């Protein structure tokens, strides 16, 4: 439970002070104000006895609760102690009138005559009772008993504290697995909801820590122990808490270490939530000293180690790492301004994670559905393959048509499943592989096989080819290269794919675009020695742009952020404003600055209407790094380009020198 931090200016609660609402009375006056002893029965019990009413049911009474009979207090029968701290004790108790188990908190006997302690205890009960929320412990009753003094009752919580869960997770790997990241973040959001509600009611908890958070048997999260709670604004000025500087050092915000309660704001709870999140992520608090004073000093001056750096083996997601770091900003202007905003960021992360998980699950389902369908037609596929290997004169055309119809009846739902998956994630590599496999199954067995199918089957096949090529054209082209024997001879499959793309005016656009780009790149000296299959990733990464006459494609001194392939039009290359070269269709420019990661040494200006392929520099460098054969070819081509350019520049220097020499010989 909450305790003040000794040695940093806390007002001892045992020291009597005159506060608003409490008179400075002497012992005799306080004794006179003591309530008289209660009768043997409560008013309700007395009424029931007179009427002969006897309620026998007690569904709210726990098995370990004290008996309904016996005891000195007419309303409550005290049982075992559940916990203590901060001058109070919590007991399991039985409410005789409602016949249920409750948690009953009393002020320890030594403090019963201390006005400050009594006021602080009552304020705690009143504040907690005013915060009705599913994530805040509900208060049932408040009163005074001649047997155990001032008290209040609240819900008896099941389960254990968040501190217990964290400790079990440290000691037992299986417990850590059951209380993993997403369950922990779910509990954290519930905790934030309770704190945000309190803030909306003008109350800060100021002693949030895992020991004060209960996680129930059904996953419910409940905040307890509001003994250090502070009302914001003028209403909190009369509180005992307003004059106290304290809390639990490991969870105290920097300002909480140096300021009293009346000067604190919602930022102290934001900070404490950040510490709890840090502990959920790493298993440890961010700042820990040998004693409270050292801990407070570390909180004030020690640099924060981000959770992902503190526990690199836990795979802490970057998004959550950043949220935690912002909650623990020492500068209050940079810290989350409210728990609502902190909660919003955590919820947004979890929503994105759930959506990604949902999509991943649907993608897996799409692939499994397609695979199950395609796996069932292996026999007719083998049969049709054997049939198509026979000489044309020996073909059983009727049987061939029947087999094709059978295959299409399966290919259609399989394609639909894969296309649904591609709508969810257009870039999923596994979906692209399965889509390309289905494309070539269809292509080789149904249409446009060497034996043309009937018009109806041909139309159905073309619809599938079109749909698949629009979604996975690059993967289809790549798979075609692999089927044709890799890099040995890629011209055949490029020609075939080009024909497929052109056969249907409605579709094939995406595939035709990729194939056209491959062909265009293959005509450029930089890429001429590469096999078309190796040009495919470059073609995929390109975008197309058009520039009007006089437009600047890039400027001298600008970063080398892209290379360009001139498809049509002309481009002037200018250095210091003077034209040093004019480029024609089929030429590549800007690549040396891209690979060298240097600034442009010249400008490129469109002479007329220009159409270019543009390749982003980071993507091109990545392709060159990842594909060794492409890297070698590019380096060889660039070496030749540099050799030619160097030779040309040397010739220009020689010519310029000769001209200057002749000019010098003539004299002025």
Taking only the tens place, the pLDDT of each residue in 306-362 is: 999 999 988 899 999 999 999 999 999 999 999 999 999 999 999 888 888 888 889
Helix, strand, coil percent values for the chain (each to nearest 5): 55, 15, 35
68: domain CATH number is 3.30.200.20
User: Are 91 and 205 in the same domain?
Assistant: no
Q: Do 532 and 547 share a domain, yes or no? A: no
What is the H or E stretch that residue 107 is in?
strand 100-107
Domain end call among 337, 371, 393 = 337
CA dist 387 and 395 (Å) reads 7
Give the tens place of pLDDT for each residue, 117-131.
999 999 999 999 999
pLDDT at 141 over 80: yes
- Same domain? For 146 and 241 the reply is no
A 10 A CB-CB count for 37 gives: 10
Residue 15 has pLDDT above 70, yes or no: no
Lowest-confidence range among 58-67, 444-453, 489-498? 489-498
Bridge partners for 585 per DSSP: none
**What pLDDT shows up at residue 171?**
80
Residues 361 and 500 grouped into a single domain: yes
Answer yes or no: do 376 and 520 share one domain. yes
In contact, 481 and 493? CB cutoff 8 Å: yes
Quick check: is 652 in a domain? Answer: no
- 189 and 212 inside one domain: yes
Query: Are 399 and 467 found together in one domain?
Result: yes
Mean pLDDT in residue range 270-275: 97
CA distance 248 to 557: 57
Question: What phi and psi values does residue 451 have, to the nearest 5 degrees?
Answer: -110, 110
- Provide the CATH number for the domain around residue 552: 2.60.120.10
pLDDT in tens, 470-506: 788 778 877 776 766 544 444 545 555 555 555 444 4
Task: Give yes or no: residues 509 and 547 share one domain.
Answer: no
Domain boundary, last residue among 538, 568, 585:
538
> Residue 630 — very low, low, confident or very high, per pLDDT cuts 50/70/90?
low
The enclosing H or E element of 441 equals helix 429-445
496 contacts: CB under 8 Å, gap ≥ 6:
480
pLDDT of residue 391: 85
In a domain, 117, yes or no: yes
330: DSSP letter:
S
Residue-wise pLDDT for 597-629, tens only, equals 678 889 999 999 999 988 887 777 777 666 655
Q: Which two tokens stand for residue 195?
A: 């704190």
Sign of CA dihedral 143, 148, 149, 155: negative
- 238 pLDDT exceeds 80? yes
Whether residue 99 is contained in a domain is answered as yes
The answer to whether position 643 is within a domain reads no
Ramachandran quadrant class, 131 (left: phi over 0; alpha: psi -120 to 50; beta: rest): beta
Spell out the residues 6+ positions from residue 286 whose beta carbon is closer than 8 angstroms to its own: 275, 278, 304, 305, 310, 328
Rounded-to-integer distance, Cα 339 and Cα 57, Å: 43
Position 452 in a domain: yes
| CA dist list (Å): 333 to 326, 339, 483 | 10, 14, 61
Whether residue 491 sits in one domain with residue 366: yes
Q: Are residues 175 and 112 in the same domain?
A: no
Could you tell me if 327 and 274 are in contact, meaning their C-beta atoms sit under 8 angstroms apart? yes
Find the domain containing 458 and state its range.
353-538
Distance in angstroms (rounded) separating the CA atoms of residues 585 and 75 = 97
Residue 618 has which token pair? 């980071």
At residue 510, the pLDDT reads: 57
Mean pLDDT of 173-179: 69
Residue 128 is assigned to a structural domain of this protein? yes
pLDDT of residue 10 exceeding 50, the answer is no
- Give me the pLDDT at residue 388, please: 84
pLDDT tens across 549-597, in order?
Answer: 999 999 998 888 888 888 899 999 999 989 999 998 888 888 766 666 6
Q: Quick check: 49 pLDDT over 80?
A: yes
Domain check: are 84 and 166 in the same one?
A: no
Comparing CA positions, the residue from 550, 546, 605, 612 lying closest to residue 578 is 605
Kindly state whether residues 119 and 70 are assigned to the same domain. yes
Q: What is the CATH number for 310?
A: 1.10.510.10
Distance CA(488)–CA(58), nearest Å, equals: 85
pLDDT of residue 520: 76
Q: Is the dihedral of CA 188, 190, 193, 194 positive or negative?
A: negative
370-392 pLDDT tens trace: 999 999 999 999 999 888 888 87
Whole-angstrom CA distances from 197 to 131, 226, 229, 269, 379 are: 8, 14, 13, 12, 65
Sequence-ordered list of residues with C-beta below 8 angstroms from that of 609, at least 6 positions apart, any chain: 546, 547, 548, 549, 568, 569
Q: Tell me what percent of the residues of the chain surpass a pLDDT of 70.
A: 78
Flag whether pLDDT at 2 surpasses 80.
no
pLDDT (0 to 100) of residue 4: 41
Q: How far apart are CA 301 and CA 571, in angstroms?
A: 59
The more confident residue out of 135 and 35 is 135
Q: Does residue 597 lie within any of the structural domains?
A: yes
Question: Do residues 96 and 49 touch, judged by C-beta distance below 8 A?
Answer: no
Domain termination residue (choose one: 519, 538, 557)? 538
Residue 412, pLDDT > 90, answer: yes
Q: Answer yes or no: is 9 within a domain.
A: no
Give the total residue count for the chain.
668
Q: Judging by DSSP bridges, how do beta strands 571-575 and 578-583 pair with one another?
A: antiparallel
| 579 Ramachandran zone, left/alpha/beta (phi>0; psi -120 to 50) | beta
Tens digit of pLDDT for each residue in 497-523? 555 555 444 444 555 666 677 777 777
**Residue (of 204, 206, 270) closest to 235 by Cα position:** 204
Convert the pLDDT of each residue in 428-441 to its tens digit: 889 999 998 998 88
pTM score over 0.85: no
Token pair 């249920």 in the structure block, residue? 100
Q: Does residue 533 register a pLDDT over 80?
A: no
For residue 9, pLDDT over 60 is answered with no
Number of domains the chain contains? 4
Confidence class for position 100, pLDDT limits 50, 70, 90? very high
């Amino acid at each position: 439970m909450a305790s003040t931090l000794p040695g940093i200016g806390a007002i001892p609660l045992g020291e009597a002070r005159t506060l608003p609402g409490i008179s400075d009375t002497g012992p005799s006056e306080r004794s006179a104000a003591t309530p008289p002893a209660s009768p043997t029965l409560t008013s309700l019990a007395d009424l029931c006895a007179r009427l002969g009413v006897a309620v026998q049911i007690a569904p709210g009474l726990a098995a370990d609760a004290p008996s309904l009979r016996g005891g000195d207090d007419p309303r409550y029968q005290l049982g075992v102690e559940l916990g203590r701290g901060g001058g109070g004790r919590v007991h399991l108790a039985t409410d005789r009138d409602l016949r249920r188990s409750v948690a009953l908190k009393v002020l320890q006997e030594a403090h019963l005559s201390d006005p400050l302690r009594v006021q602080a205890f009552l304020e705690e009960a009143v504040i907690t009772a005013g915060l009705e929320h599913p994530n805040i412990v509900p208060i049932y009753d408040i009163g005074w008993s001649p047997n155990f003094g001032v008290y209040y009752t609240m819900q008896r919580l099941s389960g254990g504290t968040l501190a217990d869960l964290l400790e079990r997770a440290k000691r037992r790997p299986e417990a850590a697995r059951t209380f993993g990241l997403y369950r922990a973040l779910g509990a954290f959001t519930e905790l934030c909801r309770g704190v945000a509600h309190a803030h909306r009611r003008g109350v800060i908890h100021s002693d949030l820590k895992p020991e004060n958070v209960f996680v129930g048997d059904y996953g419910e999260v409940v905040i307890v122990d509001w003994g250090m709670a502070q009302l914001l604004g003028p209403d909190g000025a009369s509180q005992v808490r307003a004059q106290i500087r304290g809390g639990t050092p490991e969870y105290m915000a920097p300002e909480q270490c140096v300021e009293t309660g009346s000067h604190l704001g919602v930022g102290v709870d934001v900070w404490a939530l950040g510490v709890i999140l840090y502990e959920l992520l790493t298993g440890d608090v961010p700042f820990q000293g040998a004693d409270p004073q050292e801990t407070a000093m570390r909180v004030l001056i020690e640099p924060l180690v981000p959770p992902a750096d503190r526990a690199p083996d836990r795979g802490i997601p970057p998004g959550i790492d950043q949220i935690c770091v912002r909650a623990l900003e020492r500068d209050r202007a940079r810290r989350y301004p409210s728990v609502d905003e902190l909660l919003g960021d955590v919820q947004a992360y979890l929503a994105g994670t759930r959506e990604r998980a949902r999509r991943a699950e649907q993608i897996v389902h799409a692939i499994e559905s397609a695979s199950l369908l395609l796996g069932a037609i292996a026999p007719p596929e083998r049969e049709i393959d054997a049939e198509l290997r026979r000489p044309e004169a020996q073909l059983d055309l009727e049987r061939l048509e029947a087999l094709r119809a059978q295959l299409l009846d399966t290919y259609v739902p399989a394609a639909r499943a894969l296309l649904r998956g591609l709508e969810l994630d257009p870039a999923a590599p596994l979906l692209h592989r399965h889509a390309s496999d289905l494309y070539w199954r269809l292509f080789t067995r149904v249409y446009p096989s060497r034996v043309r199918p009937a018009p109806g089957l041909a139309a159905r096949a073309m619809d599938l080819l079109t749909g698949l090529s629009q979604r996975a054209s690059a993967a289809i082209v790549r798979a075609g290269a692999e089927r044709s024997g890799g890099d040995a001879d890629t011209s055949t499959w490029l020609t075939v794919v080009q024909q497929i793309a052109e056969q249907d005016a409605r579709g094939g656009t995406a595939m035709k675009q990729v194939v056209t780009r491959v062909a265009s790149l293959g005509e450029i000296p930089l890429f001429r020695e590469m096999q078309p299959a190796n040009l495919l990733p470059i073609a995929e990464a390109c975008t197309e742009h058009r520039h009007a006459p006089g437009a600047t494609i890039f400027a001298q001194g600008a970063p080398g952020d892209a290379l360009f392939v001139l498809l049509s039009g002309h481009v002037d290359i200018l250095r210091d404003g003077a034209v040093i070269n004019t480029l024609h269709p089929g030429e590549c420019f800007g690549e040396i600055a891209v690979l060298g990661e240097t600034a442009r040494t010249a400008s490129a200006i469109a002479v007329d209407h220009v159409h270019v392929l543009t390749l982003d520099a980071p993507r091109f460098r990545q392709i060159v790094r990842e594909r060794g054969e492409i890297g070698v070819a590019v380096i060889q081509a660039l070496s030749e380009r540099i050799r030619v350019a160097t030779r040309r520049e040397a010739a220009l220097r020689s010519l310029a020198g000769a001209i200057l020499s002749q000019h010098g010989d003539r004299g002025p």
